[in-house]
Chain A
Amino acid sequence: MITSLRRIRAIAGTTLIELARLRVFYVLVLFALVLIVSSTFLARISFQQELQVTKDISLGAINFFLSLLAIVATAQLLPRDIEDRVVYSVLAKPVPRFEYILGKFLGVVGLLAISLAAMSVLCLVVLHLREQSALHEVNRQIEQLAPDQLSSTVRVIHTAGVNRDLIAALVLVLAKSAILAATTLCISAFATSNIFTITAMAMVYLIGHLESIAREYWLQEHVAGWPKRTFLALVAFIFPDLQAFNLSDQVIGGVPIPAHLIEQLLGLAAFYIVSYILLATAIFYQREL
């Protein structure tokens, strides 16, 4: 049977409405509060530091809230549908289970994209306003500054403010949270409770952020034998390296992010998402409803 985009879109759309009704967007209000409160305290430090710290807090908060949203929103989708028997009326129609899983995943990605867009707009507006106020301050001091000093100060402000790398970092945050959503969907395809799924995902999250440190330690500090290398390769294959998607330090420090690195990371994200969705589908096909 040919996969139907219309069916997938219908399931994704309904999933998005379902999640929106669960008031998960309250997370955005929380994000706005974090940003506003932190901005109030930052008013006392220099404008260059202020821009960098605002970026740091914003990226950290977006990263945290989007990851949380991806796990919590996805964890309850399949168990709820099975418990409410909604799944019966859907799968009794000519809907392959793959389309059902993919529709659910795309619904969550839609929610994540909307949330990221809202948080990013807020973050970019705050950063832009602070950048403008910093430039205004420099203009006021123009007579006291030498021409080369002036151009260097303006360059520093632009680097610390809104730029292409910040947008790239935000896209990678979305890719990371989409990986988390696919992984959560995979676990919830066989889990019998939300608590199990969320606990398992907390472990995946932890391993995903620590595996690169462990890998570096074992491969560089010690002379690793093949069992350790195989084990690390297996861990890297099963658990996505989530830390790789965190480019906050480079963005905040003004270190340019090469385009090929972004492409590689997006490719890696696509690999993990496709793998986990296929695995989730295979598990869900075996599940007795």
Chain B
Amino acid sequence: MTHTAIHISRVTKVYRTPFRRQATVALRDLNLEIAPGEVYGLLGPNGSGKSTTLKIILGLISPTRGSVTIFGRDNSVVAARREIGFLPENAYFHKFLTGAETLRFHAKLCGLSKSKTTARINELLAAVGLTDAGDARLSTYSKGMLQRIGLAQALIHDPKLLVLDEPTAGVDPAGSRDIQELIASLKNRGTTVLLSSHLLTQVQEVCDRVGILHRGRLMREGQLQSLLGIENQTELILENASPDLLDGLEQQIASTSARLIVRRKPQASLEQLFLKVTESTEE
């Protein structure tokens, strides 16, 4: 029997402050299902309930009402976390450890055998581009490097589900692109990824489905294409089209009931320009 990777059923979370009457409702009746192998993006402004959702999934906090299962197992059972890798937002780790020592510590927590650990550490340091910095203490790491080692520790036990809270926060565009590529490769290997992010372009590039949270409610959810597609418009991108051809097309459109909204040259994104410039300089 195949279980959904994450099943959230009618979860409500209310934070109560001691000695105060008022309570904060962080999540209201949240229902969410994420299929195995899917990359799901959780979007929302600050205070919308994204981090609360992730913490509930990980069993770090308990829901006031409702239930959560991970691959069919109740998430409050510690064993359910064998399948999960987690990268917290702005992750801090023990700064007195080196990158390799940090991974070794987390490997022990996950019960990895000694014989497998060293090979796995080397593999992950290479995957996140920190092979040369593996023996340096985390106190010397930049924010981007900390995020990368955070990602490596989340992957140390090769989890079936990866939960990423703002995975590219503080990472430069090149590093951010690497993380995106890593997520894509994990998806190809069948890993389920749940990520929360403010960077909508990145979410758009890597996610199969997204959900938008606002004030603790799931406002919209679905596949990107169905959410973003504008039904009554068509985009046509031509290469090496002559001005005469374009004028002809415009005239033809004008003779019908259709309306030409815009005629312009497609533009590269600032991120694409940045990557092109920095990569060519490196060469």
**A72-109 near B? 1/0 per residue, CB < 8 Å:** 00000000000011101111111110000000000000
Asked whether, in the complex, the Cβ of B60 is within 8 Å of the Cβ of A91, the reply is yes
Residue in A6, A10, A88, A92 with the greatest tally of chain B CB atoms within 10 Å: A92
Closest chain-A Cβ to B103's Cβ sits at a distance in Å of 11
Residue from the list B61, B93, B96, B105 in contact with A289, Cβ < 8 A: B61
Closest chain-B Cβ to A257's Cβ sits at a distance in Å of 41
> Quick check: is A288 within 8 A (CB to CB) of the other chain?
yes
| B window 74-92: CB within 8 A of A | 77-79, 81-82, 84-92
A4 CB contacts on chain B under 8 angstroms:
111
Q: How far is the CA of A161 from the CA of B153 in the complex (A)?
A: 54
| A window 206-229: CB within 8 A of B | none
Asked whether, in the complex, the Cβ of A10 is within 8 Å of the Cβ of B108, the reply is yes
> Quick check: is A137 within 8 A (CB to CB) of the other chain?
no
Known: A7-B108, A7-B109. A92 touches B78 (CB 8 A): no
> Quick check: is B150 within 8 A (CB to CB) of the other chain?
yes
Q: Which segment, of A13-21, A58-66, A123-131, A273-281, faces chain B?
A: A13-21
**B157-182 near A? 1/0 per residue, CB < 8 Å:** 10000010000000000000000000
A17 CB contacts on chain B under 8 angstroms:
94, 96-97
Residue from the list B78, B91, B96 in contact with A94, Cβ < 8 A: B78
Asked whether, in the complex, the Cβ of B96 is within 8 Å of the Cβ of A92, the reply is no
Asked whether, in the complex, the Cβ of A86 is within 8 Å of the Cβ of B96, the reply is no
Known: A18-B96, A85-B88, A89-B106. A95 touches B78 (CB 8 A): yes
| A window 163-222: CB within 8 A of B | none
What is the chain B residue whose CB lies nearest that of A96?
Answer: B78
Asked whether, in the complex, the Cβ of A7 is within 8 Å of the Cβ of B111, the reply is yes
Asked whether, in the complex, the Cβ of B92 is within 8 Å of the Cβ of A1, the reply is no
Q: How far is the CA of A154 from the CA of B150 in the complex (A)?
A: 65
> Quick check: is B55 within 8 A (CB to CB) of the other chain?
yes
What is the chain A residue whose CB lies nearest that of B81?
Answer: A94
B86 CB contacts on chain A under 8 angstroms:
88-89, 92
Q: How far is the CA of A18 from the CA of B97 in the complex (A)?
A: 9
A90 CB contacts on chain B under 8 angstroms:
109
A92 CB contacts on chain B under 8 angstroms:
58, 60, 81, 84-86, 88, 163
Closest chain-B Cβ to A156's Cβ sits at a distance in Å of 50
Asked whether, in the complex, the Cβ of B92 is within 8 Å of the Cβ of A93, the reply is no
Asked whether, in the complex, the Cβ of B109 is within 8 Å of the Cβ of A10, the reply is yes
B87 CB contacts on chain A under 8 angstroms:
89
Asked whether, in the complex, the Cβ of B153 is within 8 Å of the Cβ of A89, the reply is yes
> Quick check: is B110 within 8 A (CB to CB) of the other chain?
yes
What is the chain B residue whose CB lies nearest that of A4?
Answer: B111
Q: How far is the CA of A288 from the CA of B63 in the complex (A)?
A: 10
Q: How far is the CA of A96 from the CA of B78 in the complex (A)?
A: 6
A10 CB contacts on chain B under 8 angstroms:
105, 108-109
Asked whether, in the complex, the Cβ of A93 is within 8 Å of the Cβ of B94, the reply is no
What is the chain A residue whose CB lies nearest that of B82?
Answer: A94
Closest chain-B Cβ to A282's Cβ sits at a distance in Å of 14
Known: A92-B86, A289-B55. A6 touches B97 (CB 8 A): no
A9 CB contacts on chain B under 8 angstroms:
108
Asked whether, in the complex, the Cβ of B90 is within 8 Å of the Cβ of A85, the reply is yes
| A window 38-69: CB within 8 A of B | none
B157 CB contacts on chain A under 8 angstroms:
93
Q: How far is the CA of A243 from the CA of B196 in the complex (A)?
A: 54
| B window 27-69: CB within 8 A of A | 55, 58-62
What is the chain B residue whose CB lies nearest that of A103?
Answer: B109
B150 CB contacts on chain A under 8 angstroms:
89
B77 CB contacts on chain A under 8 angstroms:
1
A-B contact pairs, 21 of them (CB 8 A): A1-B78, A1-B79, A9-B108, A14-B105, A85-B88, A85-B89, A86-B92, A88-B60, A89-B86, A89-B150, A89-B154, A91-B59, A92-B84, A92-B86, A93-B106, A93-B109, A94-B81, A94-B82, A288-B61, A289-B55, A289-B60
B residues lining the A interface (CB < 8 Å): 15, 55, 58-62, 77-79, 81-82, 84-94, 96-97, 105-106, 108-111, 150, 153-154, 157, 163
Apart from A10-B105, A86-B93, 12 more pairs, CB < 8 Å = A1-B77, A7-B109, A7-B111, A14-B94, A85-B88, A85-B89, A88-B86, A89-B91, A89-B153, A94-B78, A95-B78, A288-B15
Q: Which 8 A-B pairs have the closest CB atoms?
A: A92-B86, A10-B108, A84-B92, A88-B88, A93-B109, A289-B60, A288-B61, A21-B96
